[in-house]
Structure 1
Amino acid sequence: MKAITKHKYGGPEILKLEEVDRPKVKEKHLLIHVKANSVNPADWHILRGKPLFARLSMGLFKPKDNILGADFAGIVEEIGSGVTKFKVGDRVFGEFMDGGAFAEYACVPETACGHIPDGIDDIEMAAVPIAGLTALQALITQGKLKEGESVLINGSSGGVGHFTVQIAKAYGAQVTAVCSSKNADFVKSIGADKVIAYDQENIHQHAGKYDLVVDTNGNLNYADYKRMGKRGVMVGFTTMGHMMAVLLKNIFSKFSLRVFTAAANNEDLNTLAKLIKEGNVKPHIEKTYPYSEIPEAIAYIESMRTRGKVAISWD
């Protein structure tokens, strides 16, 4: 099968399109015939082996796993023993942070998959998993968002951000979104009640008050969370130093600030699928690349100026 491989750490230029052996299905796993992927900031962090401490699990001097990619959509080709929720021929989507999705076939845990609704195409659903799960869990699992509450979403036009806006509205929140002025109309079009353009107003001096502050950009400091929110959720971070500064201040405070990494599970993936089928959430796909141009797709998102998502097609 064809796969996008990496044999050392570096930038997108080190990736190769190679023929490799098709994976064998494992117990409680699915063998997926991949039809589409999306790319995420996690992909280029893993590709470059950063932050450096992450190499303790990824491989100290070279990657343990040679095939990159987490988000996928496709068809179940084969099921392993113990699988109960899926059958051969099911259309599924999901994510597997251990990698292996940028290939014609991928072996992934049953728990990391959800069913694709009828009438929704593979490319659209491939754009959902990591970003959609992060948004849903930031708002509901970590942020405990309730209907009628107000939420400030910093970094509202990117992959995670544009899902966060839509999911917050679907759950009945009043949404204030922070983005650049050029993305203001886009963010309003997906449901934001109010937009703060960070290039026109300094968010670090913003005096608004919200039930929940969600930072998908990662540039809010601890004082920002306490000034603006009753509680906060930190999704992204700009540097390790910035993240540690926020976390250290949080240790000695009673303010509720949650930091987490999204984890795939059937229930949350199927919740996202339901929101999409009912029209409450729609992935915005800025660009779609063929699988042979996955290195170019990763280079594009590394510029950190993506509106919505970047997808990959294997057809």
Structure 2
Amino acid sequence: MKAYTKTKYGGPEILRLEEVEMPTLKENQLTVKIGANSANPADWHILRGKPFFARLTFGLFKPKNKILGADFAGIVTEIGKDVTQFKVGDKVFGESLSGGAFAEYACVEESICAKMPEGTTFPEMACVPIAGLTALQALITHGQLKKGETVLINGASGGVGHFAVQIALAYGAQVTAVCSGKNEEFVRSLGARKVIAYDRENIHQHTGKYDLVVDTNGNLSFNDYKRMGRRGVMVGFTTMGLMISVLLKKVFSKFPLTQFTAEANTKDLEILAALIRDKKIAARIEKIFPYQELPQAIGYIEAMRTKGKVAMSWENEGESLNR
């Protein structure tokens, strides 16, 4: 099978499209013929081995896993003997931060997959897992967002942010979104009634007060959270220094601030699938790259100017797995 491989840390240019052996199916896994992937900041962080402490997980001097890739959608072609929720022929989506998804086939645990809603496409559902799970868990699991509450979402036009706006609205919250002026119309199209353009108003001086502040961009200081929110959730960070500063100040404060990494699980993926089925949320895809241009897709999102999501399709010209 074809797969994108890496033997060292570096930029997208180090990825090589090669013929490799099929992965070995374990008892609790599915073999999935990949229809599409999506690109995430996690991909280029893992690819580059940055921040450095991440190498404790992914390999200190060189990558442990030769094949990159987390988000996927495709068709089940084989199941392990302990698999109970899926059968051959099911269309599934999910994510594996351990990698292996940027390939024609991947073996993935049953527990990090869910069935695709009827009528959805592989690129659409491949864009959901990491970004959608992060948004859902930031708002509901960690943010404890309730109907009628107010939420400020910083970084509202990106992959996680654009899902966060839609999910917050689906749960009955009042959303104020922060993005650049050029993305204001896009964010309003997601349903946000109030938008703060950070290039016209300094968010670090904003005096609004919200029940919950969710920062997907990662540039808010601890004082920003306390000034604007009754509680906060830190999703990303722009620099290690800022992250350490925020978390250190949290230790000496009673302000409820959570920092987390999203965890894939079937239950939350099914919640996202139901929201998509009911047309409460949708993946907004800015661009779909063919799999032959997968390194370019990673470089594209590394520029951090994407509206919504970027997908990579493994469907061959003239052939569709969706048929």
Q: Which amino acid aligns with 1:227?
A: R
Equivalent in the alignment of 1:23: 23
Q: Which runs of 5+ in 1 are unaligned?
A: none
Q: Which amino acid aligns with 1:76?
A: V
Equivalent in the alignment of 1:170: 170
Q: Counterparts of 2:194 and 2:167 in 1: how far apart (Å)? A: 16
- Aligned-residue Cα RMSD (Å) equals 0.5
Q: Which amino acid aligns with 1:150?
A: T
**Aligned with 1:289: secondary structure?**
strand
Equivalent in the alignment of 2:36: 36
Equivalent in the alignment of 2:117: 117
**Aligned with 2:275: secondary structure?**
helix
Q: Residues 64-113 of structure 1: CA distance to partner in whole angstroms, max 9, x if unpaired? A: 10101000000111111211111111100000000000000001110100
* Pairing of 1:38-187 with structure 2 (within 5 A): 38-187=38-187
Q: Counterparts of 1:74 and 1:309 in 2: how far apart (Å)? A: 18
Q: Residues 190-215 of structure 1: CA distance to partner in whole angstroms, max 9, x if unpaired? A: 01120000000000000000000000
Q: Counterparts of 1:195 and 1:51 in 2: how far apart (Å)? A: 31
**Aligned with 2:230: secondary structure?**
strand
Q: Once superposed, which parts of structure 1, at least 4 consecutive aligned residues long, lie more than 2 Å away?
A: none
Q: Which runs of 5+ in 2 are unaligned?
A: 316-323
Q: Which amino acid aligns with 2:75?
A: I
Q: Counterparts of 2:271 and 2:57 in 1: how far apart (Å)? A: 30
Question: How far is the alpha carbon of 1:223 from its aligned partner?
Answer: 0.3
Q: Residues 122-167 of structure 1: CA distance to partner in whole angstroms, max 9, x if unpaired? A: 1100010000000000000000000000000000000000000000
Q: Counterparts of 1:276 and 1:185 in 2: how far apart (Å)? A: 22
Question: How far is the alpha carbon of 1:4 from its aligned partner?
Answer: 0.6
**Aligned with 1:300: secondary structure?**
helix
Q: Counterparts of 2:64 and 2:265 in 1: how far apart (Å)? A: 24
**Aligned with 2:156: secondary structure?**
coil
Confirm or deny that 1:8 pairs with 2:8. yes
Equivalent in the alignment of 2:212: 212
Confirm or deny that 1:254 pairs with 2:254. yes
| Residue correspondences, number | 315
Q: Which amino acid aligns with 2:149?
A: E
Question: How far is the alpha carbon of 1:55 from its aligned partner?
Answer: 1.1
**Aligned with 2:258: secondary structure?**
strand
Q: State the TM-score, normalized to the length of structure 2.
A: 0.97
Question: How far is the alpha carbon of 1:57 from its aligned partner?
Answer: 1.8
Question: How far is the alpha carbon of 1:54 from its aligned partner?
Answer: 1.3
In terms of mean alpha carbon deviation, does 184-193 or 52-61 score higher?
52-61
Q: Residues 12-71 of structure 1: CA distance to partner in whole angstroms, max 9, x if unpaired? A: 110000000011210111111100000000000000011111112211111110101000
Q: Which amino acid aligns with 1:88?
A: V
Question: How far is the alpha carbon of 1:218 from its aligned partner?
Answer: 0.2
Equivalent in the alignment of 2:201: 201
In terms of mean alpha carbon deviation, does 225-234 or 24-33 score higher?
24-33
**Aligned with 1:254: secondary structure?**
coil
Q: Counterparts of 1:183 and 1:56 in 2: how far apart (Å)? A: 37
Q: Counterparts of 2:72 and 2:237 in 1: how far apart (Å)? A: 25
Q: Counterparts of 2:139 and 2:196 in 1: how far apart (Å)? A: 19
**Aligned with 1:75: secondary structure?**
strand
Q: Counterparts of 2:163 and 2:60 in 1: how far apart (Å)? A: 34
Q: State the TM-score, normalized to the length of structure 1.
A: 0.99
Q: Residues 244-293 of structure 1: CA distance to partner in whole angstroms, max 9, x if unpaired? A: 10000000111100000000000000000000011100100000001111
Q: Counterparts of 2:191 and 2:125 in 1: how far apart (Å)? A: 20
Q: Counterparts of 1:143 and 1:46 in 2: how far apart (Å)? A: 27
**Aligned with 1:230: secondary structure?**
coil
**Aligned with 1:73: secondary structure?**
strand
Q: Counterparts of 2:160 and 2:23 in 1: how far apart (Å)? A: 30
Q: Counterparts of 1:253 and 1:155 in 2: how far apart (Å)? A: 25
**Aligned with 2:231: secondary structure?**
strand
Percent identity between the aligned chains?
71
Q: Counterparts of 1:111 and 1:271 in 2: how far apart (Å)? A: 14
Q: Counterparts of 1:81 and 1:239 in 2: how far apart (Å)? A: 45
Q: Which amino acid aligns with 2:12?
A: P
Equivalent in the alignment of 2:228: 228
